[in-house]
Structure 1
């Protein structure tokens, strides 16, 4: 039984190590398809990252990426005008 618990703990530690060293990222893309020649102003941030206010001209694209946390959640909030 102790051998099974020891192997399980080692497996969990290995998975934890592989997940934290992995370069997996989440990508977020924003495109201005408002029409009428209007600019899109937006502001995105998380608890760890402040992307600032961006102005996106018509038919333009903006992308950012982040590495999600292993424990807990990574929440980004964006406001659009």
Structure 2
């Protein structure tokens, strides 16, 4: 399942540089995660790096984008091949 950033985002920019898929960018008032690029760090790390560094704890699962671990692994391979 791709991740998303909720309204608690403080736009601190801690998450963007740690994303291995460059899925995070600045939006109008908060940062956003591109669900087509987010793999929850599957393929690169054991856990989502953005969630580890987020001081606002505003990164949550995107309920509109359900994916299995296998689908996330496949997406990661496609992004990095």
Q: Same fold (TM over 0.5)?
A: no
Q: Which has a greater percent of strand?
A: 1
Structure with more relative contact order (C-alpha pairs < 8 Å, separation 6 or more)? 2
Q: Under a length normalisation based on structure 1, what TM-score does the superposition of the two structures give?
A: 0.31
TM-score, length-normalised on structure 2?
A: 0.31
Q: Which has the larger radius of gyration?
A: 1
